[in-house]
Structure 1
Amino acid sequence: MSAAEPSHISSRDNPLLKDLRKLTHDPGGYRKSGRVWLEGDHLCRAARERGVRAAIAVFTETAWPAARHAWAGAAKKYVVVADALLAGVSGLESPAAMGFVLDLPAPPPVAPDAATVVLDRLQDAGNVGSILRSAAAFGFAQVIAIKGTAALWSPKVLRAGMGAHFGLRLIEGAEPDALEALAVPCVATSSHRGEWLHRARLPHPCAWLMGHEGQGLSPALEARAGLQVRIAQPGGEESLNVAAAAAICLHASAAAAGG
């Protein structure tokens, strides 16, 4: 089976290419357009494996002859672009030969009983994407991003997430009171107080609260935590990167639930 016959683009001023440039260079651009740009075959395969069908699949002229069979049925529409033109919209050091345009998923309501990660105003896209990967790996299917957190569907977060987005229930731009809908207990980390993580009796499922890289959790969110834990650091460092701390905590939760 082959993909449907594609449209061909040879002008830099084509409206689709203009849209892709905006999506690539404006982290929150997807919110205005209602569309997400996935660049590269890894992210596109991750979406496809989760049953996501692209609105538009975009390929370079060089990649298209092989892609028309490998990616049949993956999109509603196919577009072939001159190699140099697609490279011109790329946000990667080595431009990819393909990408997907997806319709932005509608935000779901909070699932009260889901194992959850709450991101409180995290600024670094790499940290946010890394935490999404850890959430997906350790069975935390819901992520709630409090207003002020890096845009979840931005290109940098998508790349750092490595496909985790498509296995998660993502809620962004939430106000702190959205956590009132959670029926699971909230757990927070601290660098100076609380039980040691390796000794704590962790509830499962729960909601882990992860705070701003410099300021930590807001007082309003910290007050919601029924349990405070700290991570042993025998090496003496003052604190851990939030993405590293999240991976340790989520793994501890998964291990405790499995044991």
Structure 2
Amino acid sequence: MTVETIASRDNPRLKRLRRLVADGAAYRRDGRVWIEGDHLCGAMLARGRQPETVVCTQAGLAWVGAQQAAGRLDRQVAVWEVTDALMAWISPLESPPAVAFLAPLGAPAAITAGLPTVVLDRLQDPGNVGSILRSAAAFGFRQVLALRGTVALWAPKVLRAGMGAHFALQLVEGAQASALAGLGVPLLATSSHQGEFLHAARLPWPCAWLLGHEGQGVSPDLMAQAGLVVRIAQPGGEESLNVAAAAAICLHASAVAAMGCASRR
């Protein structure tokens, strides 16, 4: 492989890279995202996507070579070798990775009608959002629509919590609530105090689940658009569930319903 060694913080490319990494929403302006660690980088390659640049320490060169040898990483992709200290300077992680990708974001995705979808309404916690993306990918949802006010989907903390789910989903950011009309599937929402119980409900497939702000829930305007409102049985008596936990339960229920629909065909 052809490797360029960069040994100084004064390198203008590393300075630009550090600014990009430090600002979780800078990818929207730059059109590129920072992917850290061999797990996330491997997940990206497994989906047939290529980085613009590989940034690695000496310890990461063996992994890069193995990906090239296996045909997963294009040999034409630039490889920058940096010292451990420089990787620690770039990365926000307490334990910096041996390898990372600088990857093109691509053109903004448009909403695709008819897909099983998750709609995020002003969610703020990166861990919650990443966990929801992971559940969405695991349970057969193919599109995630983030309404305005939702945390940046490609922010580093969301990426880490998503564990590679980003590369299995069509992600649409910054949408208006009016865009939901273009989904073309039934809208479902949860409530802590109304609606039929999830385990007894007849769930449509495909569908779109509305998941709301951690403190305020789904906005009243969106809730009014839901064709079905359900609640999750909580025999332990807690007032409500964390939104990521509720999402996992609801999306799994939809996946089970979808398998039942398929078996009846």
Answer whether TM exceeds 0.5 for this pair.
Answer: yes
The aligned residue for residue 20 of structure 1 is 17
Matched residues in 2 for 1:39 and 1:80: separation?
15
After superposition, where does 1:157-172 map in structure 2 within 5 Å? 157-172=158-173
Query: What SS class does the counterpart of residue 45 from structure 2 fall into?
Result: helix
After superposition, where does 1:141-160 map in structure 2 within 5 Å? 141-160=142-161
Letter in 1 for 2:65: H
**What does the per-residue CA deviation read over 1:153-180, in whole Å, with 9 as the maximum and x for residues that have no partner?**
0000000000000000000111111111
**What does the per-residue CA deviation read over 1:201-244, in whole Å, with 9 as the maximum and x for residues that have no partner?**
00111000000000111122111100000000000000000000
After superposition, where does 1:85-124 map in structure 2 within 5 Å? 85-124=86-125
Deviation, 1:68, is: 4.5
Letter in 2 for 1:32: R
Letter in 2 for 1:136: A
User: Are 1:38 and 2:39 an aligned pair?
Assistant: no
Matched residues in 2 for 1:190 and 1:100: separation?
40
What root-mean-square deviation, in Å, do the aligned CA atoms of Structure 1 and Structure 2 show? 1.1
After superposition, where does 1:117-196 map in structure 2 within 5 Å? 117-196=118-197
Q: Structure 2 length as normaliser, TM-score?
A: 0.93
Letter in 2 for 1:8: T
Matched residues in 2 for 1:68 and 1:34: separation?
23
Identity, % of aligned positions: 63
The aligned residue for residue 8 of structure 2 is 11
Deviation, 1:15, is: 2.2
Normalized per residue, the structure richer in helix is 2
Correspondence for 2:44 among 43, 47, 50: 47
Q: Structure 1 length as normaliser, TM-score?
A: 0.96
Matched residues in 1 for 2:217 and 2:168: separation?
27
| Gapped regions of structure 1 (runs ≥ 5) | none
Matched residues in 2 for 1:169 and 1:124: separation?
20
The aligned residue for residue 263 of structure 2 is none
